[in-house]
Structure 1
Amino acid sequence: MNEILNMNINEMANISFDCSCGKTHHLDIRKIVMGSNVISELPSILEDFKRKKIYILSDNNTWKAAGEKVYHTLKGNHFDVSSTMIERDENILIPDEKAVGEMFMGLPADTGMIISVGSGTLNDMAKYMSSRAKIPYTIVCTAPSMDGYASSGAPLMNGGRKISYTATLPYAIIGDTDIMKNAPMKMILAGYGDIIGKLTALADWKLSHEITGEYYCETIVKLVQKAINKVVDTRFDLAKRDEDAIFYLIEALILTGVAMGLIGVSRPASGAEHMLSHYWEMAVIATGKNPELHGIKVGIATPIITKIFDKMKDTLPESVFKMAPSAKYTTQLLRDVNAPINPQEAGIDNDLFYRSILEGNTVRKRYSILDYAVKHGNIEKIADEITRNYYMDI
């Protein structure tokens, strides 16, 4: 059981172990390959699919970043490869009905392996396709921007709402640090924000365990905390695109996905901070605008959620309050890397912000500090105080 806490990320594929929580954890990901120039290893990683059709999915940005190299690496090794590149004038690809339709329409008959080249959106789209078409998929990561590489959920837009569909885990995860260290700095900061959000996600999980009796695993918590600590300890090197700092960031993002895969739920990675992010995103998309990157919004939401923990400290179980970070600490972690802190930087006006605190708990059926504040009758007062804190002119 304790061996997993000392493993490197490349050793965790296909792992299975009996845990002190009473469950047997298993990760159904065949291969995890991270490091410098690992795209060149694709022919050997996908050797079992050499006589099958390979379908590569990318957008115009990720094709330039890595898709073209993936295509020619496999083509040059005699793989049967086809490709769909989804072009968008905007910088952000929205995983809506149109994009998902384009993806499916380009899928050749008798495809044996889907390769998605990208980060959050393209990974979500590919895992959805994989689960519905019953074709395995491999993700080639292009940015350390989010934690969904190793998770089975696929958040997609449908009818203007963000819905998390049950999908599947990838056959393989390929994380080439030579590619990811050159990702736009905003995407690196998004990944960092997503990792800082795990601090409140873990506290929410502990809160639900104490209040509702929800299943909780100390081993998984320790695994995620160890990954967070590596990122925090090397945060000042991210601006230099230091390879070790980038490696620890993508390792942490994949590890939190591994943690979700091991227990079958997203508790180790997603709490009230994600609920605020999803609430904001749906509202912004409804106006026809592009939302801010997921991890940037999660980072902004994390100190907000810690403020709610702070305000509820007198009634919280002691074990939960000890686990929850302070607003001061989480704010400083964001300041240290020049990541956005104010919700206004993500296009969130004061009315949307206020409503998100009041109604954020409705985004998912998952107990969190938001539900706790609602139950104790404090949510209106808290929403008013925190909104005034961020929007001084109202």
Structure 2
Amino acid sequence: MDEILNYSMNEMAKASFDCSCGRHHILDIDKLVMGQGVIKELPEMVKGLGAKKVYMLSDNNTYKAAGETAEKLLKDAGFQVKSVVLDSGEDILIPAEHAVGTMFLNLEPETDVLIAAGSGTLNDMVKYMSARTKIPYIVVCTASSMDGYASDGAPLILGGKKISFIATLPYGILGDTDIMKQAPMHMIRAGFGDVIGKLTALADWYLSREMTGEYCCETCVTLVQKALDKVTGSAEALANRDDEAVLYLIEALTLTGVAMGLIGVSRPASGAEHMLSHYWEMEFIARKKYPELHGIKVGIATPIIAEIFEIMGDEIPEAAKKLAPTREYAEGLLKTVGAPVSPKEIGIDRDLFYQSLLDGYKVRDRYSVLDLAVEKGKMQEIAEKITHRFYDED
């Protein structure tokens, strides 16, 4: 029971076990391959599907990072490859109607396998296509920038709003640290911010368990915490692109996805800090402004949510209080890797920030410390206090 806690990252594929939480968990991912130089294993992974015709999606940045190598490896191995490279321009690729439509319009009949050569957006787009076409997909990770590689949700933009569509898990995840450590440092910081967000996400999960009776799996909590400990313990090394630190980061991001896959919900990864991030992103898109990377926003939101846990201390059950980090601790971790800490650093104005604290709990139907603050009639006072600290004390 709970034997998954003793598995290495690459041993977790197809995990199936009776959990101490009382449920039987299954991870429906066939291949997990992480480490140095592992991109050369891609042809063998594709052969495992008995595939002949491959459709690979990348953008102009990720094609240079990994797509070009992946395409050559597959063609040299005898596969028929259609490679579509989307133009992300100067900014990040937005998974809205134009990009998703272009992806589908380029899909050819008799395609056996889909490959996403990229990170967050490309992975989300291809997993959405996989779910709709029933064609299995593989992701070749290009950056340790987010935790969605092993999740079955696909956040896409529809009509200017971010909607998380139910998608599918990949057949295989291939993470070559030689590739990922070369990603822009901003993307590495984004991955670090997404991982740090689990500190408050887990506290929110415990809070909901105590306040609403929501199901909570201790095995999944432990799985995420073990990965968190490795990442927080190697923050200084990550700032120097250390191989082992990059591996710890991608493992933590993937393990969080594994935990989500095991229980079928995103609780191990996403709490109030993600609600603030999504609120900011949707508002930026509505204003036709560049939305900062997801993990950067999550990182900034994490010490803010930690502060709300501290302010609400007398109302927080002890189990959740023990899990919640202090604001100072979360901010210190972000500063260690050079990640932004203030919402002002990414262009969030005072009014948007204040309103996000008041309305962030409405982003999704999930109980969090924001809901508790609203229930206790303290949210406006908290919003005024935190907004004043960021915007009026300089």
TM-score of the two chains, using structure 1 as the length reference: 0.99
1:51 and 1:80 in contact (8 A); partners too: no
**Cα separation, 2, equivalents of 1:380 and 1:21:** 37
**What is the distance in 2 between the residues matched to 1:159 and 1:112?**
31
Question: Quick one: distance in 2 between partners of 1:393 and 1:381?
Answer: 17
Q: What secondary structure sits across from 1:385 in the alignment?
A: helix
> Would you say 1:56 and 2:56 are equivalent positions?
yes
> Hey, what does 2:83 align to over in structure 1?
83
Alpha-carbon distance between aligned partners in 2 of 1:159 and 1:307, rounded to the nearest angstrom: 33
Residue 129 (structure 1) aligns with: 129
Q: Judge conservation of contact 1:50–1:79 (CA < 8 Å) in 2.
A: no
Residue pairs, 1:224-303, within 5 angstroms: 224-303=224-303
- Superposed counterparts of 1:31-70, under 5 Å: 31-70=31-70
Q: What is the DSSP-based 3-state SS (H/G/I as helix, E as strand, rest coil) of the residue aligned with 2:314?
A: coil
Structure 2 unaligned regions, length at least 5: none
The SS at the match of 2:20 is coil
1:44-93 Cα shifts (integer Å, max 9, x gaps): 11113455311000000000000000000000010111111101222210
1:320-359 residue CA offsets vs partner (Å, 9 max, x unmatched): 1111111111111111111100001111001000000000
SS of 2:169's partner is coil
- What is residue 104 of structure 2 aligned with on the other side? 104
Cα distance in structure 2, aligned partners of 1:49 and 1:283: 41
d(CA) in 2 for partners of 1:49, 1:76: 17
Answering whether residue 381 of structure 2 is matched by residue 381 of structure 1, we say: yes
Match of 1:46, SS state, is helix
Corresponding residue of 1:93: 93
The offset of 1:363, in angstroms, is 0.5
Distance, in Å, in 1 between the alignment partners of 2:361 and 2:239 is 34
State how far apart, in whole Å, the 2-side matches of 1:16 and 1:3 are.
9
The SS at the match of 2:95 is: coil
Scaled by the length of structure 2, what TM-score is found? 0.99
Kept in 1, the 8 Å contact 2:2–2:20? The answer is no
Misfit runs of 4+, over 6 Å = none
Distance 1:149 1:51, change over 3 A: closer
Deviations 1:132-189 (A, max 9, x none): 1111110000000000000000000000000000000000000000100100000000
Contact 2:27 2:258 in 1 (8 A): yes
Alignment of 1:334-349 (within 5 A): 334-349=334-349
Distance 2:89 2:221 in 1: 41
Contact 1:201 1:270 in 2 (8 A): yes
Q: How far apart, in 2, do the equivalents of 1:301 and 1:13 lie?
A: 32
Q: Secondary structure at the match of 1:249?
A: helix
Q: Which runs of 5+ in 1 are unaligned?
A: none
Q: Which amino acid aligns with 1:87?
A: D
- Corresponding residue for 1:12? 12
RMSD: 1.0
Equivalences for residues 179-218 of structure 1 within 5 A:
179-218=179-218
Number of aligned residue pairs: 394
